[in-house]
Amino acid sequence: MKDKKPMKPVFKEGAITSDFIGNSIYKHQTKTNIGAHNIFLGQVRADDINGKIVSAIEYTAYEDMANQKFHEIRELAFKKFDLTCMHIYHSLGTVKAGEICLFVFVSSPRRKVVFKALEYIVEAIKADVPVFGKEIFEDESHQWKVNS
């Protein structure tokens, strides 16, 4: 049935700031068995869709299921790859074009594994986590984002 281990919080209200990311990197400098970090950042694009420009994405999620899926992705990644640590943060609510909505951070003693692990985790998030994105245009109309 459901895994009962404590889950790390993933969702953050609004954009993920560069200060938050810098600080997260800083905290890993005490872990002196780490030799390689790999970080993925998803940033909201100001896409031009038939002449209308995306100004922001408003994220919602089926939070209970999403947290469960993030947890499963996390557990499986630790099983598959020799990682020292892993952090996942995803925005909820409004994230403006140019701002960061996804921050995935993996660390390992050696580099080869972090590349594989990071891509695996990001692809799993895109495919398996019930997060929904409403692309808001500058004229306040909207369309729904679909991952490709």
Neighbours of 47 (CB within 10 A): 14
List 25, 49, 76, 127, residue binding its own copies (CB under 8 A): 25
d(CA 106, CA 88): 9
Which 54-73 residues touch its own copies, going by CB under 8 A?
Answer: none
Q: Is 13 in the site for its own copies (CB under 8 A)?
A: no
Instruction: Tell me which residue has tokens 């922001």.
Output: 56
CB of 79 to its own copies, least distance (A): 21
Closest CB to another protein among residues 50, 148: 148
CB of 104 to its own copies, least distance (A): 10
Instruction: Tell me which residue has tokens 């993996």.
Output: 106
| Contacted by 4, from another protein, its own copies, none: CB < 5 to 8 Å by type | none
Q: Is 142 in the site for its own copies (CB under 8 A)?
A: no
d(CA 133, CA 107): 29
The amino acid at 65: M
The amino acid at 91: S
Task: Number of residues interacting with its own copies: please give it, by CB under 8 A.
Answer: 38
CB of 115 to its own copies, least distance (A): 5
Q: Is 114 in the site for its own copies (CB under 8 A)?
A: yes
Q: Of 105, 64, 68, whose CA–CA distance to 85 is shortest?
A: 105
